[in-house]
Amino acid sequence: MNRFVLNIYRAFVPKPVRTMIVKKRVRAKILKYYSSMPESDFNNEMREVVTFLHSHPLTIFPYQFHFNYRPDAVKVFRDDQRKMHYVYFDNKKLYFRIIRNK
């Protein structure tokens, strides 16, 4: 794709839509690649991932345990004294690292 068309595409197609398109393409390529392999070459982990991808969208961890965790269930707090965000883990404050833009 030439640079001009790419710039127009990025300008008019919102980032979440572009991300969804990329995820669908990657998922399709993964399934196509593994469908061309003989079943005897699969190990248990490969079989589990391919089975998961047949019925679910692409996720960072393509396993069933992914559904046991909900990001909205994590409560994030702010420490105004340190000016940092934190969560409670084992009854202790776990602070987020400060990211400074250069």
The tally of domains found in the chain comes to 1
Closest CA to 79 of 94, 60, 63, 61: 94
**What pTM was computed for the model?**
0.65
Alpha helix stretches (DSSP H) within the chain: 3-12, 15-35, 44-55
**70 inside domain:** yes
Q: Does a structural domain hold residue 29?
A: yes
Residue range of the domain that includes 22: 3-95
| 101 domain-assigned | no
Query: Could you report how far apart the first and last alpha carbons of the chain are, in Å?
Result: 31
**Distance between CA atoms of 18 and 55, rounded to whole angstroms?**
21
**What does the pLDDT read at residue 102?**
58
| pLDDT in the model for residue 50 | 92
Give Cβ neighbours of residue 31 (< 8 Å, ≥ 6 apart): 50, 53, 54
Is 89 part of any domain? yes
pLDDT in 10s for each residue of the chain, 102 residues: 689 988 999 999 999 999 999 999 999 999 999 999 998 888 999 999 999 999 999 988 888 888 888 877 889 999 999 889 999 999 999 998 877 665
> What pLDDT was estimated at residue 73?
81
